[in-house]
Structure 1
Amino acid sequence: MKELTHYYNKKDILFKEIKEIAPKDLKSRKKIKIYVATSIQKEYYAIFIIDSKSRFIRKNAEDLMILLDNLVSFQEHNFKKKELLISSPICSKAKKLLENDKWRVRVDFM
């Protein structure tokens, strides 16, 4: 979590509260880190961190959107900002699909 706050501090985004959600709580077996955060400007963030060696493809993007829907129903809150922090290469179709759904994809994490 320290790396996450340091990463966003470089981007001039300060969080008032950050809470980690276990994928098991969302009935998922994926190896992913999920954070729910509130910024100082009272914007609610859903942050997904994926650290894998394989390419992130469109099917993974669709699974991520389903995971977000589960998170929304679990937290009973609709998030204003949806972010994917990823260290592996991403397929252009997957990136376009996420950006059309108002996701911010950041490939430079870690």
Structure 2
Amino acid sequence: MKDITKYYLDKEILFKEIEEVSPKELKSRKKIKIFVATSTNKDYYAIFIVDSKSRFIRKNAEDLMQMEALLADYKEHNFKKKELIISSPLCSKAKKLLEENKWRVRVDFM
């Protein structure tokens, strides 16, 4: 959590509250870190961190969007900002799909 706070502080985004949600709470077996955060500007963030060695493809992007829908139901809140922070290679079609659905994709984490 310290890494994510420092990462967003470099981007000049300050959070009032950050909560980690385990994938098991969303009935998922994926290896992903999920954070729900509230910024000082009262923007609600859903942050997904993926760290894998394999390429992130369109199927993974579709699974991620389904997981965000489950998170919205679980927290009973629609998130204004949805972000994917990824350190593995990213397929251009997956990135385009996420950006069309108002996601921000950051490839430079850690």
Q: TM-score, normalised by structure 2?
A: 1.00
1:38 aligns with 2:38: yes
Name 2:62's counterpart in structure 1: 62
Residues 23-66 of structure 1 deviation map (CA, whole Å, 9 limit, x = unaligned) = 00000000000000000000000000000000000000000000
Name 1:71's counterpart in structure 2: 71
Aligned to 2:29, what secondary structure does the other structure show?
A: coil
Tell me the distance in 2 between the aligned counterparts of 1:27 and 1:65. Answer: 15
Name 2:102's counterpart in structure 1: 102
Name 1:10's counterpart in structure 2: 10
Residues 67-105 of structure 1 deviation map (CA, whole Å, 9 limit, x = unaligned) = 000000000000000000000010000000000000000
Tell me the distance in 2 between the aligned counterparts of 1:46 and 1:58. Answer: 19
Tell me the distance in 1 between the aligned counterparts of 2:25 and 2:9. Answer: 28
5+ residue gaps, structure 2: none
1:52 aligns with 2:52: yes
Q: TM-score, normalised by structure 1?
A: 1.00
Name 1:92's counterpart in structure 2: 92
Tell me the distance in 2 between the aligned counterparts of 1:49 and 1:77. Answer: 20
The one-letter code sitting in structure 1 at the alignment partner of 2:71 is: L
Matched residue count = 110
Aligned to 1:53, what secondary structure does the other structure show?
A: coil
Could you tell me the percent identity over the aligned residues?
A: 75
Runs of 4+ in 1 over 2 A off after TM superposition: none
